[in-house]
Amino acid sequence: MTPRELKYRAIMDIELEHPIYLLCEIAGISRSSYYKYKNKPIKQNSEIEERIIQIYNKSNKRAGYRTITQILRNNYNLIVNHKKVLRIMQENNISSIVRRKFRKPKGSSIIKANILNRDFTAAKPGEKFVTDITYIPTSRTMTYLCTVIDLFNNEPVAWKVSDTQDKYLSINTIKKLAKNYNLEGSIIHSDQGIHYTNEKYVKLLEKLKVKQSMSRKGNCWDNAKAESFFSHYKCESIHLMKKKIRDLNDVIQITEEYMDYYINHRPQEKLGGVPPSKYKQMKSIS
């Protein structure tokens, strides 16, 4: 109902108590337009309009015109064209709460071939890496851990913890890795997540002269080493916490402590029963 129609209705309610010319003057409308409104035929769709508003309010403003059309048909046996329902809603200035659809930007994903092809062995440090991102819930927010693992000795060699899951999480992790390794000719393998298919990440690897490899779509086994590490990380640190993890700082502290344990103290059967740092030391001597 429009503001003008509300004024007409208000005057009709009290026109027997006060002069109509005075009420029209106060409302700022002409007497001729008021009488025209008052004497026009009653809307044929007045019942439908009331039902629409009733359904809309009962749904807490969730129901759109298509949903209301179906409810009119199913609950009240009122066969109404959906376009008419939409028009009535527009006339009454009501609309549903619309869930915004996520639209993937065109040309934003750059997919690379699976160069690694599940060959999780490396002859020397820095030859092959796998990377992935996992999430850690806290009392205050969701946090995310991005890790790069050297396949030579299964050692986490770069990682970042953040409470923002944007493309810079993976980019900053690679930049951290590049400070300690000459990455020219190295293979860095990941899944096809947006963190690894976005243009900025791909361009960074190209600049570092890295060979980028990606898992096949929906195939977690192609990045099994990264998945395995996160499984150990959560079982041996996050899930053992007696107190609930409060925030990002807690996750950073837990992660730093676990990385030290995993790299320097945790023996691995596939490395001959020694931790990654000891294995690298032994191989460098030999």
pLDDT of amino acid 179: 96
Mean pLDDT value across residues 40-58: 75
Mean pLDDT value across residues 185-198: 96
111-139 pLDDT, tens per residue?
999 999 999 999 999 999 999 999 999 98
**What residues does CATH 3.30.420.10 cover in the chain?**
128-285
Mean pLDDT value across residues 177-203: 96
pLDDT class of 104 with cuts at 50, 70, 90: low
Query: With contact defined as beta carbons under 8 Å apart, do 214 and 196 qualify?
Result: yes
Whole-prediction pTM: 0.63
Whether 99 shows a pLDDT value over 60: the answer reads: no
* 70-74, 171-175, 181-185, 189-193: segment of lowest average pLDDT: 70-74
Query: With contact defined as beta carbons under 8 Å apart, do 108 and 102 qualify?
Result: no
**Cβ count near 275 (within 10 Å):** 20
Whether 251 shows a pLDDT value over 70: the answer reads: yes
Mean pLDDT value across residues 175-201: 96
Name the burial class of residue 88, with classes exposed (0-12), middle (13-18) and buried (19+) by CB atoms within 10 angstroms of its CB. buried
Topology of domain 128-285, CATH: Nucleotidyltransferase; domain 5 (3.30.420)
pLDDT of amino acid 234: 93
Looking at this protein, which amino acid is placed at residue 102? Answer: F
- Beta strand 142-150 with 155-162 is antiparallel
Residue from 232, 224, 276, 279 nearest 255 by CA:
232
DSSP state of 135: E
Query: With contact defined as beta carbons under 8 Å apart, do 172 and 160 qualify?
Result: yes
Query: With contact defined as beta carbons under 8 Å apart, do 149 and 229 qualify?
Result: yes
